[in-house]
Amino acid sequence: MSSEDAGASSGPDDAPGTGANDEYHENAEQAVIAVDENDEEQGLVNRLDAHTGDGTRHRAFTSLLFDEEGRILLAQRSPKKRLWDTYWDGTVASHPVQGQTQVEATRQRLEEELGVTPDQYDDLRVTDRFEYKRYYMDEGVEHEVCAVLKATLLDTSLDPDPDEVGGLMWVPYERLYEHPRWYRQLRLCPWFEIAMRRDFE
């Protein structure tokens, strides 16, 4: 993990902002897993508390699905999201709950957000892990140890949940990295940009 990743400004899902008040209250009743720099558990922390002020380092994941031609499935975050609403992300990103592995959490979120079941993809695995910190304007912060998971989607049938996903797009992964100007109309989530950069370093 580079110091740039750990100290830069962040991440999948929360900060009190322009999103729906219902989601704000829902998040206030949830917890995330606080971790040290080695992703060792340090207990639970309220999800809102973890994403306000200076934040609390916690466990997260981003999962990237590819088709058999090497294109990545990008998902636009719903405008209802409280953090990075309408930004384009890797396929899914979230926080595991206590006792849940990153693979189990990814399987759950793929089905909940995109209607994708385990029989549709192959070789889901953790490929990387990094720490980063990002502020979302003046509304909140992410400080995460973020695992990266990848899989190949063999059956590309999708049934996205509009409360989670604003749009979907298949993009050639290497071209997205090598020619960012061609895609500058897409505002990319910072944790996805870090994961992609580390893939090609």
Binding residues for Mg(2+), as ranges, are 113
Is residue 144 flagged as an active site residue?
yes
Burial track 39-58 (b if 16+ CB lie within 10 A, e otherwise): beeeeebebbebbbeebbbb
Cα 179 to Cα 9, 44, 106, 188, distances in angstroms: 23, 40, 29, 14
Block residue for tokens 């995330």: 32
Tokens of 2: 């580079």
Residue 94 near residue 14, CB atoms below 8 Å = no
If 0-12 CB within 10 Å is exposed, 13-18 middle and 19+ buried, where does residue 174 land?
Answer: middle
Q: Which of 37, 68, 104, 144 is catalytic?
A: 144
Rounded to whole angstroms, how far apart are CA atoms 33 and 87?
25
At residue 103, φ and ψ (nearest 5 deg) are -65, -45
Closest of 123, 119, 84 to residue 103, by C-alpha: 123
CB 155 within 8 A of CB 173: no
Known binding residues for Mn(2+): 51, 58, 95, 142, 144
**Which residues are the active-site residues?**
144
